Amino acid sequence: MKIVLVLAAGIAALLVDRTSAAEPERTRRQTGDLAIQSRAILGKYCGECHKDGSTRSALAVLDHKQLVGLQSPIPFAAKTGARSQILEFLDDGSMPPAGHPRPTDAEIAVLKQWIAAKAPSFPKAFDTATTQRTLLDDLEQIEEKNRPFMRYLSIAHLVAEGTGTPALKAVEFNLQRALAAATEANPAPPVPIDDSATLFRLDIRTLGWHAPDLFEKVVDGNEAGVFPMNAFDLILLEYPDAAPIAGSDAARLTRALGDMKQLRPIPYLKADWFADALLNKGVHTPLAEELKSLIRLAEKKTKPRPDGKLNEDFASRPSLRSAVPPLGAFYPKHVAAQAPPFPKLTLEVIDPKGDAIALVETEEAFRLKLTADADGHFVLLMRWSNGELGVQKVEGGYKFKADKARILSPQKKEAPFAFQISGLLNGKDKGNEYFILLASPGEIAAPTIVRSAHAKFPIWRFLPEPVEPGAVQRAVAEIAVVKK
Ligand code: HEC
């Protein structure tokens, strides 16, 4: 009897031992979180003395290469998950030195899990330069013919801003929901390419966002040839936060961007912005609807009708897009921490008496009043109620003088020298139209206008020429139009 009991206990002990020794399966997010948390703990309790080997110790706790690289006598943090000098000094109490704050038990437990997970890497800093370098290392090992389809989304800025790791999981979740919202499918999640899971690679072919030849250029209201841009480019046009291509990796980045063949030179997007741009508080944004309609358009184009025509109404619902088109990405209304060229630039809709108005009836005459506090040049753009865009020509040239109001009227051969909206193009009784003024101290080029090849509800965009930040400022006059 006794022997049996002992044996049973022995087997139980063996089982417990084996399960506790086995490493739990972790998701990329969980492993990434361990790396991010461990970096923060080491930085907080050890960084002061172990920054860059400048103290009596050679250890630099934020230098992951060093942590896993130095082997003698015991590695600081081995990739094998075996002994770690950091953990042993923490355990025996020799580090941090007496009198210095010590990590909590929970924090030490995180470090232990991190070592057990084979010390996944973290960068010295979660900054733009690091993110760009991680991206370059990844893109350069991708076959050249596939590079035009690779795009990158980052959450490293959230770590740098001190966002806790549980929030990163939520951002990833939102990202996945946003991708589903803008593709009608449930696409495979983007792949993290760094150990700390802060930079994700997206193959736009898996989303159907890669089709070319869906847009055409529009000149004076007429089609003027295919314009090379795809669905992802539409997102780039709205991105407000493009990092400048500068620093020691600038040449490599420029080459990489050439390989990616994007409309705007933006190596990666912030994933939280990206998710909100497609799915805002659970609601599909107009941009998400447009992306989906481009997928349908691409499918139609590859399977044309026997007569070669497109007969489908691709309901992109441009009427949803009641806001000004995404010129804001290029010309922010107020550029933070930077004086705009015209601190007091205004554009108003005025009636024949000169009073500002916010509403007109169809066929009612109105003009625009432009005021600024410095001399400059301008172009005037328009967005009609159905989403169509155009360049509006005006009488009397495209200059204005400081503190002298310019009254703008359309370029016309005969009276009444005023704007009139003859009918609402959205087919409804009311709608909003926008005049968009781009002003600059120097001469300014009118943006290119493109539209998608949808039969009935094309997607329209302005494509401004790239300018120095702060060189161009915009003013918008919104006017509500009601049917007479
Ligand atoms: C107040 C300064 C200070 C803090 C805080 C501190 N250390 Fe140290 N540590 C030192 C100094 C100085 C040495 C060099 C050996 C010595 O003279 O004791 C050292 C040595 C070490 C060593 C041995 C490797 C070597 O280069 O000699 C390890 C490992 C170590 N520290 C880990 C840590 C860890 C992990 C933390 C944070 C939990 C930490 N230390 C916090 C000052 C500090």
Model pLDDT for residues 308-323, shown as the tens digit of each residue: 555 455 554 554 454 5
**pLDDT at residue 47, as a whole number:** 92
Instruction: Locate the ligand 1 atom nearest the alpha carbon of residue 76 and give its number.
Output: 29
* CA of residue 80 to ligand 1 center, whole Å: 22
Average pLDDT over residues 332-348: 69
The C-alpha atoms of residue 212 and residue 294 are separated, in whole angstroms, by: 10
* CA of residue 200 to ligand 1 center, whole Å: 35
Would the pLDDT of 20 be above 60?
A: no
Q: Is the CB of 85 under 6 A from ligand 1?
A: yes
The C-alpha atoms of residue 154 and residue 219 are separated, in whole angstroms, by: 37
Residue nearest to atom 23 of ligand 1 (CA): 57
* CA of residue 129 to ligand 1 center, whole Å: 29
Q: Is the CB of 77 under 6 A from ligand 1?
A: no
Q: Is the CB of 46 under 6 A from ligand 1?
A: yes
Dihedrals phi, psi of 230, to nearest 5 degrees: -115, -175
Would the pLDDT of 4 be above 70?
A: no
Testing ligand 1's pocket by substitution, the residue of 39, 44, 49 carrying the most ligand atoms inside 8 A of its CB is 49
Share of the chain above pLDDT 70, in %: 85
**pLDDT at residue 81, as a whole number:** 64
Q: Which of 474 and 408 is assigned the larger pLDDT?
A: 408
Model pLDDT for residues 426-448, shown as the tens digit of each residue: 778 888 889 999 999 999 999 99
In order of their start, the domains of the chain are 20-116 (no CATH), 128-312 (no CATH), 319-482 (2.60.40)
Pick from 54-68, 108-122, 388-402: least confident = 54-68
Residues 6+ apart with CB under 8 A from 325: 383, 389, 436, 460, 461, 462
Prior bond of 265 cis (ω within 30°): no
Testing ligand 1's pocket by substitution, the residue of 37, 48, 52, 59 carrying the most ligand atoms inside 8 A of its CB is 59
CA 40 and chain centroid, separation? 26
Q: Is the CB of 48 under 6 A from ligand 1?
A: yes
Q: Assign 24 a pLDDT band (cuts: 50, 70, 90).
A: confident
Residue nearest to atom 9 of ligand 1 (CA): 57
**pLDDT at residue 19, as a whole number:** 41
Average pLDDT over residues 451-465: 86
CA distances from 357 to 347, 361, 364, 406, 441 (A): 11, 11, 12, 17, 28
**pLDDT at residue 245, as a whole number:** 83
* CA of residue 50 to ligand 1 center, whole Å: 7
Yes or no: say if 218 and 224 are a contact pair by the CB < 8 Å rule.
Answer: yes
Q: Which residue has tokens 């349908």?
A: 296
The C-alpha atoms of residue 161 and residue 411 are separated, in whole angstroms, by: 51
Model pLDDT for residues 155-165, shown as the tens digit of each residue: 999 999 888 78
Residues 6+ apart with CB under 8 A from 467: 330, 331, 440, 444
**CA-based R_g, the chain, Å:** 29
Q: What is the mean pLDDT of the chain?
A: 86
Q: Is the CB of 67 under 6 A from ligand 1?
A: no
The C-alpha atoms of residue 247 and residue 229 are separated, in whole angstroms, by: 28
Average pLDDT over residues 282-295: 90
Would the pLDDT of 116 be above 80?
A: yes
Report the first-to-last Cα separation within the chain, whole angstroms.
Answer: 102
Residue nearest to atom 37 of ligand 1 (CA): 46
* CA of residue 31 to ligand 1 center, whole Å: 26
| Opening angle at CA 233, ends 194 and 432, nearest 5 | 130
Q: What is the biggest distance separating any 2 CA atoms in the chain, rounded to whole angstroms?
A: 115
Q: Assign 304 a pLDDT band (cuts: 50, 70, 90).
A: low
Model pLDDT for residues 367-386, shown as the tens digit of each residue: 999 999 999 999 999 988 88
Count Cα atoms within 13 angstroms, Cβ side, for 473.
25
* CA of residue 49 to ligand 1 center, whole Å: 7
**pLDDT at residue 348, as a whole number:** 96
Burial class (CB in 10 A: 0-12, 13-18, 19+), 63: middle
Testing ligand 1's pocket by substitution, the residue of 64, 87, 95, 105 carrying the most ligand atoms inside 8 A of its CB is 95
Predicted TM-score (pTM) of this structure: 0.87
* CA of residue 94 to ligand 1 center, whole Å: 8
